[in-house]
Structure 1
Amino acid sequence: MLLEDLYRLMKMGHVQAQGVVDTMTQPVLVLDEHFYVTIANNAFIKSFQVNRDDIVSQDFFKLGNGQWDIPQLRQPIASVIPRAAAVIGYEVKHEFPNIGERTFLIDARRLVHPDDNSPNLLIIFDDITDRQRHEAELDFIVAEMRHRIKNMSAIVRSVVMNARADEPAAATFKDALLGRLDVTFHSQDIAASGETADFESLLRQSVGALVSERLDCNGQAVDVPNSKVPPVGMIFHELATNAIKYGALSVPGGTVHVTWEKGVGLRGRPLLVCRWREEGGPRVGEPERKGYGTELIVGLVAHLVGSVELTYPPGGFTADIKIPM
């Protein structure tokens, strides 16, 4: 229950308030204007392993041999009653006598007693010790996973680099494989970080520095979720590879225009609507058969539950792509 919800309920009256407070799983205290405890719920008694009789009508800052007399906590709590202010999410980390070191988020708000209009203080304690420990463990696991992915990437790349490729076809395959591996490993590293990626930055990284210089990009800021970074990166790497081999980037004067915008799909789901349009290259036409790169593009878009339309007008290849974000 949020502080604001409890505050509204407690304005109903003392008897109802006590019943509401006792049902809460979060520790709750109500202090009078002199910071003496008037209400302590069952969760507070259990969490801090104290007896109700030992804390009710006692000075909050003297409870448990002064365990709550924390300078960083006293000042914000003491300012609530006279200023009718509120404290939201104040973090307290402390070594408590009975329960050891714990970390709490504390919410406090001024509450006017319905019987005599005296100002009271409502305090809710949120124990986040286990949550922080879990987050720290998760951060460690993610960091270790990223480290292992980088090691694996280096090993795989080394194996491919050292493989003999005497025949032209083998050399071409080797270069294509290295390019795909580099994009995949880089995208996986971004995905493992748990962060989103800016679409234009991802696009330029995926096509490589030389191709990026020949891209004309125009679109609004779009964040790509980390889970979609690897396949999106691979899609545009394959488009760039095809453009270098067969399309506009196979000749000096060719360029690629990439435009994108945010769209809305089924059930209001946000979409990335993108067009890749090549210009200034050799005359193109519908290929007699789909190459591996084209099949990979179509397969990756399908994997993302999106759609792609590949067209081959004489002026240059065009790909219209829609990907749910």
Structure 2
Amino acid sequence: MMLEDLYRLLRSGHVQAQGVVDTITQPIIVLDQNLCVVTANNAFIKTFKADRDDIQGRVFFELGNGQWDIESLRQLIGGIIPRAAAVIGYEVKHDFPVIGQRTFLVDARRLVHPDDNSANILVLFEDVTERQRHDAEMDFIVSETRHRMKNLFAVVRSIAMQTETKGRTAADYRDTFLGRLDVTLRAQEISVSNTPADFEALLRQSVNPLGAERFHCTGPSVQLSNSRIMPVSMIFHELATNAAKYGALSGQDGEVHVTWSLEDGPRGRVFLRCEWREENGPAVTMPEHKGYGTELIQATCAHVGGMVELKFHPEGLNAVIKFPV
């Protein structure tokens, strides 16, 4: 029910007016010219945990040990109301002793009785605390989603632009692009949890399903921070992709062995040293030109402050990767 509806109902003096007001779920109170409580509905009593007998006839600002003695509310009722017929949506924030921090929108109107021309004040309270909290949460979620989508599109564009097209069929380009995009999205899912990622689990996820059963890992438990999840995933996915196309995983008997350890580095930093070793695959020769995969691995490793050494042994590729953790 709106303030004007209440005003017309109470001004009519109808015998059922008070009963109707008591059914309204919003707290309502009526004050006389001296700002003493004439009546309060059930919602007011319940919301502010008041006793009807204790508030009847008392000055409004003395109720509840002065919990309503709020400067902004004093200005509204004591100053604004006498000069205006109504005030709608006046926001009051206060830490109430009994119900805690609350935000109310206050509607108030002078209520002139037709019989004796006395002027009371009708005050209606709407608790918007939860609504404002919900709105703030939604604003944050929308803002965060927009930010993440913008970053994700930038990553997708970067993958698309940096995936080489020369000498490739459309199907080959598609498969390469989707493979890189898939590992990127899986790394994103891990990083948004804001918790460290286990290196071995991330390593296996980056390689899977490219010959997972012929992929062997050995090393201590290492936790990677969020900033390392994406680049590490891209590095090892690229190594696994190359192994599946040209290296050990392209044959039936080939295997990949990955071992790692922690080493002390300069300025007290700790480095992860990881060795990628391919065995029992086709003979390997030094490539005539540095491919995009090699460039991606080297550039990504450098981006996180590390280095990579690629050795094309005849029996299989050997890569040594080091980066700070």
Output the TM-score relative to the length of structure 1.
Answer: 0.52
Aligned counterparts of 2:262 and 2:143: Cα–Cα separation in 1: 31
How many angstroms does 1:193 deviate by? 2.1
Q: 1:291 corresponds to which letter in structure 2?
A: G
Cα separation, 1, equivalents of 2:286 and 2:243? 14
Q: Could you tell me which amino acid in structure 2 is paired with residue 303 of structure 1?
A: H
Going from structure 1 to structure 2, the CA distance change for 1:151 and 1:267 (only over 3 Å counts) comes to closer
One-letter amino acid matched to 1:284: V
1:265-297 alpha-carbon deviations (Å, 9 max, x no partner): 111111111000000001112111111101100
Residue in 2 that maps onto 1:260: 260
Partner SS state of residue 286, structure 1: coil
Give the Cα–Cα distance (whole angstroms) in 2 for the partners of residues 212 and 304 of structure 1.
26
**Could you say what secondary structure the match of 1:227 adopts?**
helix
Q: Distance in 1 between matches of 2:255 and 2:97?
A: 70
Higher deviation after alignment, 289-298 or 204-213 = 204-213
- Shift of the alpha carbon at 1:146? 8.8
User: Alpha-carbon deviation of 1:147?
Assistant: 7.7
* Conservation of the 8 A alpha-carbon contact between 1:149 and 1:189: no
- The 3-state SS of whatever aligns with 1:232 is helix
Number of residue pairs matched by the alignment:
198
Query: How far, CA to CA, are the matches of 1:221 and 1:139 in structure 2?
Result: 35
Q: Percent identical across equivalent pairs?
A: 51
Amino acid corresponding to residue 248 of structure 1 in structure 2: A
Aligned to 1:207: 207
Q: Which residue of 2 aligns with 1:231?
A: 231
Letter in 2 for 1:235: I
Give the corresponding residue for 1:176.
176
1:141 to partner: Cα distance? 6.6
Instruction: Tell me how far apart the structure 2 counterparts of residues 142 and 203 of structure 1 sit (CA, whole Å).
Output: 32
CA deviations 1:76-123 (Å, max 9, x no partner) are: xxxxxxxxxxxxxxxxxxx65299439xxxxxxxxxxxxxxxxxxxxx
> How far apart, CA to CA, are the structure 1 residues paired with 2:230 and 2:139?
21
Is this contact kept in 2: 1:255–1:279, CA < 8 A?
Answer: yes
Matches within 5 A, 1:1-325: 96-97=96-97, 100-101=100-101, 140=141, 144=145, 148=149, 169-325=169-325
Report the Cα offset of residue 244 of structure 1.
1.0
Q: SS at the partner of 1:278?
A: strand
Which residue of the partner structure matches residue 60 of structure 2?
Answer: none
5+ unaligned residues in a row in structure 2: which ranges?
A: 1-63, 68-94, 103-133
Q: Quick one: which amino acid aligns to residue 171 of structure 2?
A: A
CA contact (8 A) 2:210 2:244 kept: no
The TM-score, its normalising length taken from structure 2, stands at 0.52
Correspondence for 1:110 = none
Give yes or no for contact 1:142–1:193 (8 Å, CA) kept in 2: no
Q: Is the 8 A contact 2:198 2:221 kept in 1?
A: yes
What is the Cα deviation at residue 212 of structure 1? 1.9
Q: Counterpart of 2:91?
A: none
Q: Which has the larger radius of gyration?
A: 2
